[in-house]
Amino acid sequence: MESGPPGGSGPAEPGPRLRGWRGADAAASASSLSRFGAEAGCRAPAVAAVLPAGGCGERMGVPTPKQFCPILERPLISYTLQALERVSWIKDIVVAVTRENMETMKGIIQRYQHKRISLVEAGVTRHRSIFNGLKVLAEDQPNCRLSKPEVVIIHDAVRPFVEEDVLLKVVTAAQEHGASGAIRPLVSTVISPSADSCLDHSLERARHRASEMPQAFLFDVIYEAYQQCSDYDLEFGTECLHLALKYSHIKAKLVEGSPDLWKVTYKRDLYAAESIIKERISQQVCIIMDTKEDEEHVGRCLEEMLKTELNHVKVISGQDLQQIILEQCYSFVCVNVMTSDFEETQRLLNMLEESNLSILYPVVVISEEQKLRESLRQGATIIAALIKERNSGLIGQLLVA
C-alpha cells in the first residue's frame, strides 16, 4: 500500500494533537508548509475544506445529531474544526449544516472562537451537502471572501482526530492524481446477501478496504463530477471517490490512514472519543501556590508524585495566572499554604470564567496545606484520579486528602 507523499523521503511528522500548546502547533504547521515547497518538490496549493454536517445521527440512538453531541461539554464538531484550523495551510473551511441547526452552529463558532469557517445550508443527503459546499467555493464573486481553491479536502464533521499528517498526504496525492482518499483495513468480512437474506457470497477481506475520510480532490475534478452526476447519485450515493471515477474518469490514489480516522457513528464511539480526548488534553497540570520559599517543598513533592501519573506537570506561583491562561492549561491544582480563605483560588476561578477561552472545564482542587503535608501521596492520588477522569460531578467540591 502507498504510504508517504510522492517525493517524500520518509513518513510525515505527526501532526499536532489536541494538546492546546499554540507554540507547538505553529511550529508543526510551518514545517509542513515547507514540505510542499522544498521536500515534496511541488508548490503549495490553495486548499479549502468542506465538511458535510447535516446528518441527523439516527444510528446514535440519541435525539441530538452526533456532530453536536457534547464531549466534555463541548460539541463533537468543535473538536473536528479545531483539528482542521490547526493546519495553517487550509485557507477556508466550509461547513454544511441544516437550517434548523444553523444558529446552533453559529453559537459553537462564537463560543469556541473558530476561524476561517463559512456556513452553507446542508442538502437532504450527504452528497447534496458536499455539493452545496463546493458551490460557494466555485463562485468567485467580488463580495464573497471565499475564492476557488486548487485542492479541496472533504472531511466528516464526526472524525475529530484527523491529523495534519494524513491531510498533507491526501492533498499532495490529489495534486498529482486528481483525487485521493484515506483507507483502512476491514475489521469484519464483507458479505453480499441474497434477496431472501441468505449468504450469496463473501468478499475476500485482504482484497478490500474501508474508504474513510479525509479525501482530497483537484477542485475542478470533483466539482465537475458533482455537476454531471445524476439525481440517483446525489440521493443514494455515499462515495466521492466513486463520483470522481465515474464522471471525471479519475482513479483516486489511496492512502493508508491511521486508526484515529474512525467515524463517530454509535454511542460507543462517543464514549471512545471522550476517553481519547481525556487522555490527550486533560493531563497538563498547573500547581498554583501562594507560597513562601520555605514552604515550597510541599509543591515540589506534589509535582514529583504527580509526574509519575500525569504527562505534564508544572508548578507556578499565584502571580503568573495570566500567563497560565495564555498557555491554555486546563487543569489547575491550588495549594493554599499561607491562607485558608481561598481568596487566591477564587481569583483564579474568576479569571477563568472571564477569559472566555475555548476551554474544557477546569479542574480545581483545593487542599489545606496542613493535611496535605501529612498525606501528600494520598493527595497526589486523588488529584491524578480527578484529572484523568474530569468528572464534572466533582468540580467545585471540597475534597480533603
In the range 47-76, which residues lie near a copy of itself by CB under 8 A? 59
- Scanning 31-39, 115-123, 187-195, 354-362 for contacts with a copy of itself by CB under 8 A, the matching segment is 187-195
Q: Is 271 in the site for a copy of itself (CB under 8 A)?
A: yes
- Answer for the pair 77, 108: CB distance below 8 angstroms, yes or no: yes
Q: Is 397 in the site for a copy of itself (CB under 8 A)?
A: yes
- Give me the DSSP letters along 85-105: HT-TTEEEEEEEE-GGGHHHH
Q: How far is the CB of 106 from a copy of itself (least distance, A)?
A: 30
Q: Rounded to the nearest 5 degrees, what angle is found at the Cα of 185, between the Cα atoms of 234 and 151? A: 50
- Provide the 3-class DSSP secondary structure of residue 126: helix
Burial (0-12, 13-18, 19+ Cβ within 10 Å), 236 = exposed
Q: Which of 265, 317, 355, 358 binds a copy of itself (CB under 8 A)?
A: 265
Q: Is 363 in the site for a copy of itself (CB under 8 A)?
A: no
H or E, element range at 171: helix 164-177
Lay out the site mask for a copy of itself across 143-182 (x = CB under 8 A, - = otherwise). Answer: ----------------------------------x-x-x-
Closest-CA residue to 330 (of 392, 285, 384): 285
Q: Select 86 or 253, whichever has its Cβ closest to a copy of itself.
A: 253
Q: Is 236 in the site for a copy of itself (CB under 8 A)?
A: yes
Q: How far is the CB of 384 from a copy of itself (least distance, A)?
A: 6
- Answer for the pair 364, 332: CB distance below 8 angstroms, yes or no: yes
Count of CB atoms situated within 10 Å of the CB of 324 = 18
Residue 189 to residue 128: CA distance in whole angstroms: 30
Q: Select 270 or 289, whichever has its Cβ closest to a copy of itself.
A: 270
Q: Is 104 in the site for a copy of itself (CB under 8 A)?
A: no
Q: How far is the CB of 309 from a copy of itself (least distance, A)?
A: 8
Q: Select 266 or 342, whichever has its Cβ closest to a copy of itself.
A: 266
* Count of residues that bind a copy of itself according to CB under 8 A: 72
Q: How far is the CB of 104 from a copy of itself (least distance, A)?
A: 25
Q: Tell me which residue has cell 486508526.
A: 259
